């Protein structure tokens, strides 16, 4: 079963620990945080559960069709979008319980004081392409 682990810049439940953005941490804490994420991904390759990891720029633009022959209409970037996705990791695991366990592990990345950051991560199951057999 494949799951998406979504990391948000903003949005989601109230943070457990109030913390500043990464750029305001001590450099070695930033390194420790990033290293934890990288080690986590490496570990998942080792367990045969890693699929993909990507990060997104916070700068996004809304775009829409504006009729035949007309250029696309753009809107933004919005500084105040409530929900802002920072990036994701896709995992392929045996069960929902295992997905929860891994999400919790990733959420324990060290924060500005070196202690687990308790960051909220959003866990979303992928739809499979076709239902399994059975009338």
Partner 1 sequence: MDTSLIRELVPAVIGVLVRRGADFASAEDAVQEALVRAYETWPHDPPRDPKAWLIAAAWRKFLDAVRAESARRGRELTVDAEPPDGPVPDADDTLRLYFLCAHPTLSQPAAVALTLRAVGGLTTRQIATAHLVPEATMAQRISRAKRTLSGVPLDAPGDLATVLRVLYLVFNEGSGGDVDLAAEAIRLARQLDALSDEPEAAGLLALMLLHHARRASRTGAGGRLVPLAEQDRSLWDTAMIAEGVTVLQTALARDRLGDYQAQAAIAALHADARTAAETDWVQIVEWYDELLAITASPVVRLNRAVAVGEADGAQAGLTALADVDPGLPRYAAARAYLLERAGDLDGAATGYAEAARVATSLAERDHLTRESARLRQAARR
Which residues of the shown chain bind partner 1 in the complex (CB under 8 A)? Answer: 2, 44-52, 92-94, 125, 127-135
**Nearest distance from C-beta of residue 26 to partner 1, angstroms:** 34
11 cis-preceded (ω within 30 degrees of 0): no
By beta-carbon proximity to partner 1, the closer residue of 48 and 72 is 48
CA dist 135 and 128 (Å) reads 17
**Nearest distance from C-beta of residue 1 to partner 1, angstroms:** 9
By beta-carbon proximity to partner 1, the closer residue of 5 and 117 is 5
Collect all residues with Cβ–Cβ distance below 8 Å to 110 and sequence separation of at least 6: 29, 32, 33, 36, 116, 117
**Nearest distance from C-beta of residue 52 to partner 1, angstroms:** 8
By beta-carbon proximity to partner 1, the closer residue of 52 and 115 is 52
**Nearest distance from C-beta of residue 97 to partner 1, angstroms:** 12
Collect all residues with Cβ–Cβ distance below 8 Å to 23 and sequence separation of at least 6: 30
By beta-carbon proximity to partner 1, the closer residue of 42 and 66 is 42
């Amino acid at each position: 079963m494949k799951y998406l682990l979504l990391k948000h810049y903003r949005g989601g439940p109230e943070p457990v620990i109030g913390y500043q953005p990464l750029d305001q941490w001590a450099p070695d804490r930033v390194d420790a945080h990033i290293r934890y994420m990288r080690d986590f991904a490496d570990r998942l390759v080792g367990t045969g559960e890693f699929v993909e990891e990507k990060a997104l720029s916070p700068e996004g633009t809304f775009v829409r069709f504006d009729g035949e022959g007309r250029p696309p209409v753009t809107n933004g970037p919005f500084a105040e979008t409530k929900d802002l996705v920072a990036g994701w990791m896709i995992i392929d695991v045996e069960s929902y319980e295992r997905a929860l366990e891994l999400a919790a592990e990733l959420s324990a990345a060290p924060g500005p004081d070196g202690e687990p950051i308790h960051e909220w991560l959003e866990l979303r199951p992928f739809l499979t392409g076709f239902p399994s057999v059975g009338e």
